[in-house]
Structure 1
Amino acid sequence: MLWKLSMTGIKSRFKDYLVLFSGLTLAGAIFYMFMTLATNGDFLNDSLPVTSQTIRLAFGIGIVLLILITFIYIVYANSFLLSMRKKDYGMYMILGARTSKIGKLIFVETLLVGLLATLVGILIGIVLAQWVSSVLVSQLGLTLHKFIGFYLPALLWTLVFFTLIFFLAAFWNRRRLVKSKVIDLLHEDQKPIRLHHHPVLKNIEALAGIVLMAGGYWVMTQAMVFKANTIWIAFLTIVIGTFFVFDALFTGVINILSKNRHFKYHKLRSFTIGQLKFRLGDYTRILTVISLLFALALGAITVGLDFVHVTDISLQANYYDVQLYQDTPAVRKQLKKVSVREQTGFDYKQVKNKIYVSKEQLLNNQIKSQEFRIKNGQTEYYTITIKPEELVKNKLPDNASLNGLLALLPMGDNDVKVINQDKFNQLKAQNNHVSLLLVNNFKQNIKNIESLQRAGLPNKPSYELLRTGVKVRQFIEINAIAAGFEFMGFFLGIAFLAMLA
């Protein structure tokens, strides 16, 4: 009989339950979508080839933020569920239902609604993850590997998390219901909220909120100083500061309007102010969460967009587009597929652990290199011409000319000696030549340039450092990292916007 009454109550409020169920379903879908990114090791290794520490930090922060937001969201949903049913449960008690039966009913009902919403959310999340990834890859022109919408570890993590949360919610609902008096259950939604407005305290609260928000945003601009603590400090200060500002502002405005008799008693304004007072605490918390979700969505998308800028900066790290160390038929064949706009180079000889270069060649060919500096907190690259007189100093790491030359020579940890052309010609060692090219349409013709660079590097251990330091190799690796984080940023941004909606 009790279950029939419960089903009748749910049917009578079907629209409210539909809103609740859709919100919980969306929360489950979003959580699953993110976990497909965070737990897919093959995708991370192929699409984000950076150190495991960086990967763990980035996704660790993302998981913690998502857990916090999802937890807050479910707490609101659970409060919504309980508030809808309190009056009904009070009526059942008046009709003779035992408290233990009502407690069992609310426990099972909360757990059942939550688990059903989670399962539906996972199914929707699988479809959304696959669809969103396809759209982002096609629209952003990214190349991603081994990302699929269905991923079993993500499904299991989502089930475990939501089952635990809804079990705790069901236990909490049962406890609150059993401890409540029947009269409170029947009339709790009619109790007005007393606004405590002490001018001095509210001014202090508003000032503290502004200081906390400003401090949080300032910490974000000092990421180099605070490092890994930046996210946590900014998150806590901005969230708490936002709540303080909303609470102080809205409480103050409502009290000012209430004291203005001319405004208050015009048409239905008195009723409107009463309604605002009734739910002001809920509104303050809801607006805080909304602002947080909006900030996270905007931040995630902005970070994703900024990684496009990272790939452009990576092009400035090396002055020469291609470095050729041998002249073979394969090199000449690939050269025909590349538009060269400028070419230079120089000879070098290797005797045991020393490399010799000609002073005259360096001067005549104006060999250049890129250096970087930190200006206004930003990395900035600038071009220098390698000066033979600076190479004589042979001191690292402050010798810019030596750094630039070593980046163009095999076995970069060797000693480099600058000698005049006559002495260079007298050296009894094999004469080697490096051709340095500047090409047109580097990004558009990246595949042919990569093939040319690969053909121009001998397959010898002494050239191993050059194989990882040439421009095309660095660009491909950084572009892969940027593509992965760009995808993650847009993916999370869309998920947070969906939760916001």
Structure 2
Amino acid sequence: MKSKMASKFAFRNMRANSLLLTPFLIASSVMGTLFFIMASLGQNKYIEANHMYVSTLIKIGIVIVGIFTFVFILYANSFLTKRRNKEFALYGILGLEKKHIAKIISIEYILNFLTVSFFSIAGGFVLGKLAFVILNRITKNMTAKIIDYNFSTSSAILTLIFLAIIFILIYLTMIFRIGKSTPIELLSKQKKAEGEPKSKFIIGTLGFIILCVGYYLSITSKGSIKSFGRFFPAVFAVIIGTYLVFIAFSILVLKLLKRNRNLYYKSKHFLSISGMLYRMKSNAVSLASIALLSTSIIVTLSTTFTINSSIKSILDESNPNDFVVSTGIEGNTNELLKNGEKREKEILKLLDNILKDDEKIKI
């Protein structure tokens, strides 16, 4: 198949699936915009010079937002591709080879990548200025000007590379799934109803333990400066634990409720428990992402306000004295003491010789 023909198929598919594709592109662009804003704020020279602790938090936030973006776009794409199984099956029935289908899909994802990248960087730059102003207003820094927020080429390149990795992974996953399936199997997947999810005891328990560890690290952190070393592991533990709890532990709890006949077979609980079992199977990742995004926004805002309100105590903790005198010789103290003792012995020996000479002269 020629590239021109494949491009026509790709454009036609995008128009036909616009109702499904538009929400995917909007959601991906929003996540890409958030990633670019965090990356540009984290690499802004003015913030690094004037807000050292905030800059550190933002750089941690880049990793967290990157994880959210990665999971969210993959999940949104899986939702989109499930509804296109019939379309791919028809291509196979009409005689298109799998390499031709792969070529059409590659053009589609290149166009999707370019669209998401453009809106992510353009929207991120515009909204980044607003975020920069708000950040400086919160920290009561009135000297900052909008000109201090410049377009960050390195942040744009980082965003493009990150989005490219995601879309390449999506494309390879799609090609692998189509490559191992026949048109009949793709059609049956479209019509096949979802079965009841299986309980995963080990994964669910592990997720609950990891989540508890994350909250324990957060609660037991003491001191605004000392807590930075524990903040990053705590965040990762909470993220991983939350996803595992929503994916496996929630189903495990619902299964246990279902086994309780006295509770399950009541009119109030029967429909709600059975309905939630099937919903959690397909919507666990999205629910976990929404919960984590909401939590991260609250944590970011509260942390910013906390740092701003406790800036005096942070300065007192990092600089307990009004003045610090440094001689630059602290590391050589032992050597200086040895040299001092040696010089003292030499002086005493010299004085002893002088006294002996004086006695000889008198005699």
TM-score by length of 1: 0.54
* Aligned-partner Cα distance in 1 for 2:306–2:257: 44
Query: What are the residue-to-residue correspondences of 1:130-149 with 2, within 5 Å?
Result: 130-138=129-137, 141-143=140-142, 144=144, 147-148=148-149
| Structure 1 letter corresponding to 2:117 | T
* Aligned-partner Cα distance in 2 for 1:13–1:131: 34
Shift of residue 411 of structure 1? Answer: 6.7
Shift of residue 174 of structure 1? Answer: 1.8
* Aligned-partner Cα distance in 1 for 2:289–2:298: 14
Change in 2 beyond 3 A, CA 1:165/1:42: same
In the alignment, which residue of structure 2 is the partner of 1:180?
181
* Aligned-partner Cα distance in 2 for 1:273–1:213: 26
* Aligned-partner Cα distance in 1 for 2:85–2:267: 35
Change in 2 beyond 3 A, CA 1:136/1:82: same
**Is the 2:210–2:240 Cα contact (8 Å) retained in structure 1?**
yes
Query: What are the residue-to-residue correspondences of 1:227-266 with 2, within 5 Å?
Result: 229-246=229-246, 247-253=248-254, 256=257, 260=264, 263=267
Change in 2 beyond 3 A, CA 1:103/1:66: same
**Tell me, which stretches of 5 or more residues in structure 2 are unaligned?**
328-363
Query: What are the residue-to-residue correspondences of 1:193-212 with 2, within 5 Å?
Result: 193-197=195-199, 202=201, 208-212=206-210
Shift of residue 262 of structure 1? Answer: 5.9
In the alignment, which residue of structure 1 is the partner of 2:96?
97
Change in 2 beyond 3 A, CA 1:139/1:221: closer
Paired residue total: 314
Secondary structure of the residue aligned to 2:148 is: coil
Deviations 1:207-260 (A, max 9, x none): 544433222112123446986652343133323332343333345426745974
| Alignment pair present for 1:28 and 2:35 | no
In the alignment, which residue of structure 2 is the partner of 1:157?
158
Query: What are the residue-to-residue correspondences of 1:276-355 with 2, within 5 Å?
Result: 276-313=276-313, 317=316
* Aligned-partner Cα distance in 2 for 1:11–1:307: 49
State which of 216, 225, 239 in structure 2 corresponds to 1:218: 216
Change in 2 beyond 3 A, CA 1:126/1:412: closer
Secondary structure of the residue aligned to 1:97 is: coil
Deviations 1:337-394 (A, max 9, x none): xxxxxxxxxxxxxxxxxxxxxxxxxxxxxxxxxxx8xxxxxx9xxxxxxxxxxxxxxx
Shift of residue 63 of structure 1? Answer: 2.5
In the alignment, which residue of structure 1 is the partner of 2:345?
none
Shift of residue 119 of structure 1? Answer: 0.7
Shift of residue 179 of structure 1? Answer: 1.9
* Aligned-partner Cα distance in 1 for 2:102–2:112: 16
Query: What are the residue-to-residue correspondences of 1:395-434 with 2, within 5 Å?
Result: 407=322
Deviations 1:256-275 (A, max 9, x none): 45974564999xx49x946x
In the alignment, which residue of structure 1 is the partner of 2:111?
112
Secondary structure of the residue aligned to 1:216 is: helix
In the alignment, which residue of structure 1 is the partner of 2:17?
13
* Aligned-partner Cα distance in 1 for 2:302–2:296: 10
In the alignment, which residue of structure 2 is the partner of 1:79?
78
Q: Which moved more, 1:3-12 or 1:297-306?
A: 3-12
Shift of residue 122 of structure 1? Answer: 1.2
**Is the 2:204–2:249 Cα contact (8 Å) retained in structure 1?**
yes
* Aligned-partner Cα distance in 2 for 1:284–1:168: 21
Shift of residue 39 of structure 1? Answer: 2.0
**Is the 1:30–1:125 Cα contact (8 Å) retained in structure 2?**
yes
Q: CA RMSD in A?
A: 3.7
| Structure 2 letter corresponding to 1:243 | Y
Shift of residue 279 of structure 1? Answer: 4.8
% identical equivalent positions: 22
Kindly indicate which of the two structures has a greater share of residues assigned to strand. 1
| Structure 2 letter corresponding to 1:81 | L
| Structure 2 letter corresponding to 1:26 | V
| Structure 2 letter corresponding to 1:134 | V
Shift of residue 302 of structure 1? Answer: 0.8
Shift of residue 108 of structure 1? Answer: 2.0
* Aligned-partner Cα distance in 2 for 1:194–1:277: 7
* Aligned-partner Cα distance in 2 for 1:95–1:261: 49
Shift of residue 96 of structure 1? Answer: 1.3
TM-score by length of 2: 0.72
Shift of residue 92 of structure 1? Answer: 1.2
**Is the 2:85–2:186 Cα contact (8 Å) retained in structure 1?**
yes
Shift of residue 5 of structure 1? Answer: 5.0
* Aligned-partner Cα distance in 1 for 2:25–2:64: 23
Change in 2 beyond 3 A, CA 1:171/1:111: farther
Change in 2 beyond 3 A, CA 1:278/1:182: farther
Change in 2 beyond 3 A, CA 1:244/1:69: closer
| Structure 1 letter corresponding to 2:292 | L
Change in 2 beyond 3 A, CA 1:112/1:261: same
**Tell me, which stretches of 5 or more residues in structure 1 are unaligned?**
318-371, 373-378, 380-402, 414-501
Change in 2 beyond 3 A, CA 1:87/1:254: farther
| Alignment pair present for 1:38 and 2:39 | no
